[in-house]
Chain A
Amino acid sequence: DAGVIQSPRHEVTEMGQEVTLRCKPISGHNSLFWYRQTMMRGLELLIYFNNNVPIDDSGMPEDRFSAKMPNASFSTLKIQPSEPRDSAVYFCASSEQGSQLYEQYFGPGTRLTVT
């Protein structure tokens, strides 16, 4: 298996632009997680899905952030409009069968820079 795939790996954009991050979970996994990692805040859970349904989005910082999972093999995290403080590495992770017993497999991350 190719593991969790994220694209793009790097994104540089200007403040005010829309940013869309993409994630393909491991086949057969039906839980998907979006995290943000910064030096100041560490690793933060933004939102997670079970069976394509958002379960907990309490970590989404504000209305500028939205996430979707239209099917079991694809998810997006959108920021509109982007701001410099959104600069971070965004990780997507997936786990098997939606069970709390199974570890998460992380993608390589998308490094977002908003200027």
Chain B
Amino acid sequence: AQSVTQLDSQVPVFEEAPVELRCNYSSSVSVYLFWYVQYPNQGLQLLLKYLSGSTLVKGINGFEAEFNKSQTSFHLRKPSVHISDTAEYFCAVRTNAGKSTFGDGTTLTVKP
């Protein structure tokens, strides 16, 4: 079985500040890692994914994440946020069997 823990339920930041959204996972098997974003009243959209290779993954909208196997983490970062980044962010893991497990989400609020 696998689980995902998003360590912060809410993250308020000011515009143009850097942000890090934390995600830890546990699994008895190899997993693939994803970050999704959900804007109000919309479905989830993929931000980025880690499958293999370089542990630093770049995604859309200037986001990036780093896979750390020893710490079983996959934290999401952006050096300078915009008001439009206000949304809920979900970390997810997926096994070879195809089953996905999502974290509880982190609400990022960017203030002017």
Contact = CB atoms under 8 A, between A and B. Distances in A.
B102 A43 contact: yes
Nearest to A41: B104
B44 A106 contact: yes
A86 B101 CA distance: 21
Interface stretch (B11-19, B45-53, B75-83): B45-53
B96 interface: yes
B98 A50 contact: yes
Assign chain A's interface to a size class: 20 to 34
Chain B interface residue bracket vs A: 20 to 34
A103 B49 contact: yes
A113 to B, nearest CB: 14
B21 to A, nearest CB: 15
Contacts of A91: 43-44
A43 B45 CA distance: 14
A100 B94 contact: yes
Interface of A: 4, 31, 33, 42-43, 45, 48, 50, 55-56, 91, 93, 98-101, 103-109
Interface of B: 32, 34, 36, 42-46, 49, 51, 90, 94-105
